[in-house]
Amino acid sequence: MLKNKNFKTILITGASSGLGRSLALNYAKQGVLLFLNGRDRERLLETVQLCESKGSKVIFQNLDVNDKSAMKNWIINCDKVSDIDLVIANAGISLGTSCKNDEFNDDFYNIFSTNIFGVLNTILPIIPRMIERKNGQIALVSSMSSFIGMPSCPAYSSSKACIKTLGESLRGYLKEYNIGVSTICPGFIKTPLTDKNNFNMPMIMSCEKASKIIIKGISKNKGLIVFPFIYYIILKLLRFLPFNFTNYIFSKLPKK
C-alpha cells in the first residue's frame, strides 16, 4: 500500500485561498505538476504565480465544482496531460454567522451541493482511471463537526458527515486497487471562511500549520487525519453523554 509517497502530479480544488492555497504552496516545488481549481479567478492567479515561483509547473482552471460536466472534462484532460497521483477535494462552503432562516431555503441546498456533490464531481471522474492504473491517492476534506450533529450548523455539519462516511467507505473499497483514501477532519482553521465567524474558535490554527499536518498524513496514507487531537478526544467523549444533554449544549453555540 502507499506509504510515505512523494507525489509528482497533484490536483487540488478550492485553491484560490485558505487551506487550498496553503496546500498548493506546500506541495509546490521543482518537478511537481499542480492542477489547481478555484472560483475566484484573480485569487487563483495569485496562487498560481506563487506556486510557479517555487518551481512548480501549474495548470489551472477557473470553474465551480458544482459544474459536473465542466469538472469531468477538466479532470480527464488533466489526467491525459499527466497521470494524477493525488486528488485533494478541498472546496467547501459554510454560511458564516450572517445566516438567518434563509439557511433552510437555497443556502441549505448550496452547502449540500458544494460540500457533497462538489466532492463527487472532483473524485468520480478520476477513480476509474486510478483503478485501471492500480495507483493513486484521494484526500477528502471533511470537518471536526462531522463527528456530532451540530444544531448550530445543521447543513454544514451533516454535509461534512457525509464526506467523512464517504471517505471511510471508499478507503476499504479502493484498497484492493492500491488506491489510498484519506479523510481530513480539521478543527478551526484561519481562512476567509472562518473569518466570517464572530465567535471564539477554540484551538484555531493557521493554514500553514494545518496544511503541513495534512500533507504529512496523506504521505503516510492515514485513513483519518484529525486535528487538533485534544478537540477530537473531547468530541469522542461527548458521544458517551446523553443525547439530549449534548444536543442542548451544542444548540447554544453560535451559528456557523
Q: Which residues are known catalytic residues?
A: 156
Nearest to 141 by CA among 48, 22, 246, 56: 22
Nearest to 237 by CA among 162, 148, 140: 148
CA distance 186 to 229: 9
| Whole-number CA gyration radius for the chain | 18
Distances in Å between the alpha carbon of 27 and those of 19, 54, 167, 172, 214? 12, 9, 22, 26, 11
Q: What are the helix (H) ranges across 2-145? A: 18-27, 41-53, 68-81, 106-112, 118-123, 127-133
List the grid coordinates of 225. Answer: 487525519
Nearest to 188 by CA among 209, 167, 204: 204
